[in-house]
Structure 1
């Protein structure tokens, strides 16, 4: 059986948005959807079995609410659910091991202050070995599509670009393939963004000469990007690819590109020291500031 798309639900507006996005994702890839609700067992002497029974009842109601929303918004998706005991981060990480990807909600503050990621979502993103997608509340399916034709506003248009942030010094096949698959499933254009910065006087070594021809340097990066993507263009001939090379900070370039995207894909290198999980500065900026769904793909 194909591995499912899993969504963590807790009854919040963010988790309901995540569940609906996960349902659309499951349908796009012809995968089953599994909803997971995590609750913490009360030890004896702290409410005991009555408190646990109340937790199970609340979990059932939370899952039913998510299922009703999914069946209304995304009819046709095969959906199952389960309750599991916490702690939440550990339980979701275990569930993610069996998933194509795990989808979680992120708390949105505003368009100006960006995303405030909850402790559970942050813990999962920094430790997961499978892709994790973060979805903010208040963003419906229509926000992922190109603007409607003024002559027929009801007609559904194509998806906005899938954006892939790539570091050409550390290009990773798992992240690139994930982005191409997402673009192909949506029949969307894939926009690949690489940002570069000229070396500063501090970073130059003895005898090094700083390049003064920025256009030439940009052209070199463009050629490198084209070469890296050549094999993927051959593998996905039906996917239109737009290569973008910009001078500046990668985090700034990605946040800007994501403002008109249906999905942003970034990578996260798996730590060789599991006790010290972390995400890079670019991925951290994307997690906190992009408004579109964000896929964080771990890689070695």
Structure 2
């Protein structure tokens, strides 16, 4: 596969829903909704990584692999403005969003952006990076074992991995109401998990990192409440904003039921209200994640 050409085919391991990886370019336009949740974790991950091996270490160079809209890069640059930073993503739309963030926040050089497939970091030399970092990409991406090997390959001996993973095989906050809503019409409706169990189950992820060659693997499990002002704003995110994972759930409904999304929307809204709405109408969606550091 070309390292600069995103895959446009549905990709899934056995027992997982297929997800269109090219959908991230479309979702880049509204990805700030996700960043409200992930930015505090990016700050903690950057600070933890820096405490293990300071970004000010001579000849440091940081990789932000699967950079998305640049929230991790922002956290890194806010902590150490002068550290050289390479931000990569398979999605041209995400690269564009990250560049726009860098301009808006006036990131201090040096920094650069490259459209690269995380499975083949073409042009990034082996043992050329001191801090190999990524946030929440590996749990969703095709062939995460290969991604981990690449992140290990480019890391200098003694370098540090800083990684964020989801700690759930599906977006539970959307999966659960979708399942409840769908089963009102189809009692045996089946909605497989979305992500790789090996890269969401904490013990299995720890083992996977060791398999990739990392040592001194440490983890901090995280529980987040992703806040929305009301059910209507959750509905807009799910049915209008194009998250590729959520799109896979919606396609599963259409394919199994033969019905349109208009059929399930009111049922989904009711399930979200019953599961997650708090006093005053605010909605708190539960999200499980983890952040990791390890060494080479």
TM-score (norm 2): 0.32
TM-score (norm 1): 0.32
Q: Which has the higher contact order (CA 8 A, sep 6+)?
A: 2
Larger radius of gyration: 1
